[in-house]
Structures are given as C-alpha cells and as structure tokens.
Amino acid sequence: MLTESTAQFTPVYGPVKSWRYGRSLGIDPIGKISSCSFNCVYCQLGEIEQPTGDRALFVATSEILDHLKHFAPWDVEVITLSGSGEPTLALNLGEILREIKALTGKPTLVLTNGTLLTDAAVRSELAHADKVSLKLDAVNASQLKRINRPIREFNLAELVRGIKQFREQYKGELSIQTMVLVPWDDITINTYIELIKQINPKEIQLNTPKRPKPLQHQLEARGNHTQAEERFYPVQVLKCVSATVLEALATRIAQETQIAIKCA
C-alpha cells in the first residue's frame, strides 16, 4: 500500500504492462508538470496542471537518453512516448524518436490526442514513430467538450482533418484508441463508423475507464495502477460500461469496417 508520495520525476519509467502493446518502457517528454491540450474527464494523471496547445522544449533529449541507457538491454516490446501529457507538444519530438531508435533498436510508439496534427511540422516529426495510437473519443462537438474538455473551442472537423492528413503521409502502424464511457446510441455508432472508414487505421482499441482518476495530478499514475489498489491520494472511481456492452460495440464496428479491434 502506498502511504505517501515519494515520486521524483524521471523521463523514463516502467516497464509498464500495456493491454494494447505488451511490455512497454515509458518515455515522458513533458516533465513533472502535466501539460496537455485536453483535460479528459477520465485522465489517469488527474487534472491537467498546465492546459496548453503551445509547443515547447520540456525535457532535453540528452536527459532522456542518459536515463534510457540505464535500462539496457531494453527487454520490452516497445518504447512509448506518453507520460505527463500530450507528447506532440514537445518541440524535440522528432529528435527524441530518432535518437531512441538509434540507441535501442526497439520499436517506438506515440500515444497522442491528435490535436496538433494540423501542423505540418508535427506530422513530419510524429512520422518517425513506428507506431502511433490516436485518441478519438467523440463524434460531435458536445461529446468532445464533455469528455475531452479541450483547452479552447475545438472543431471536431479540424481534429479529423489533421488525423486524415497524417494518415496520408504516415508509413507506420496507425491505431485509433477510443474510451467508451457510456453506452452509445445508433447515431453515435454510425457516425463513429463513418469516421473510422475515412481514417482507415490498422486497428481500433476500445477501452472503458479501468483506473480511478486522481483528484489532483499524480506522477505515479503514469504506471499500472488499477481500480483496486489503495493509494495515498484521493481518487474518483469512474463508472465503466460492462464488458458485454463493449464487446457488442466492438463486434458491430468490426463487421461494418473490417478493421481489427482490441478491447480492454
């Protein structure tokens, strides 16, 4: 049982057991202060401390590599950029991906909300990743505002446009990750299916909140905490849709898109 916070920031953490990608080593290019263009209601990090859509240099590439060397020989399936917020905010995203690959020879993965993909420079840098998992939780403006809580008024069409632009140039493995908070009606399902057909990812990853949300930002939450664990910090336990509901949704989407689906 955790009794008090002793977390010190390190840009490399884990390995973490990922239901989507197996054994993963985490890279945090954002730093101790959580920074993101979304403030999702289910975020395992807690409330975002620095809501922003502006790119900056948060953690030097050299610092990441120095820490990464201590994890050799990197006994993992993938090295994942995620951590304390939206990784594409890091101005050195492309450099980090290139240097990690050169050092470890391991596949690289970026988990992103896609909000910066209308920027050609971001698309070019992100394309260095072997795998990209893009968040798509909403199919209309009200859902986006309610679930993802973007830092500014964000047009869903703008988000989808950036994703499609990236898809056109990206040669790696693209997945769509979707968090299902409540059962979807037919309109939502049909709209989602049409968006998926436009994006044409290799895989869809359907999930429902399995981890409680800290009421304040917690660095430790980058890891594999589950609903059942005791913590030293207060959390909100989120209601999940049932496995039956999630599996039925997955079956319908798979039948209509012919795209592989993973369910948590």
Q: Is residue 4 part of a domain?
A: no
Q: How confident is the model at residue 44 (pLDDT cuts 50, 70, 90)?
A: confident
Q: Is residue 6 part of a domain?
A: no
26 contacts 80 by C-beta, under 8 angstroms = yes
Q: Is residue 166 part of a domain?
A: yes
**Cα(263)–Cα(197) distance, rounded to whole angstroms?**
19
Q: Is residue 194 part of a domain?
A: yes
**Cα(174)–Cα(129) distance, rounded to whole angstroms?**
10
CATH number at residue 212: 3.20.20.70
Check: pTM over 0.85? Answer yes or no. yes
**Cα(200)–Cα(143) distance, rounded to whole angstroms?**
22
- Residue 231: give the domain boundaries: 12-263
User: Is the per-residue pLDDT at 4 higher than 50?
Assistant: no
pLDDT digit string, tens, across residues 197-234: 999 999 999 999 876 666 666 666 666 544 444 556 66
Q: Is residue 3 part of a domain?
A: no
Tell the residue number behind the tokens 């920027």, with chain if given. 119
Work out the percent of the chain whose per-residue pLDDT is above 90: 75
Give the β-pairing of 173-179 and 203-207.
Answer: parallel
Chain mean pLDDT for the chain: 89
> What is the number of domains present in the chain?
1
pLDDT digit string, tens, across residues 47-101: 899 999 999 999 999 999 999 999 999 999 999 999 899 999 999 999 999 999 9
Q: Is residue 1 part of a domain?
A: no
Q: Is residue 106 part of a domain?
A: yes
81 contacts 122 by C-beta, under 8 angstroms = no
**Cα(93)–Cα(28) distance, rounded to whole angstroms?**
11
Q: Is residue 179 part of a domain?
A: yes
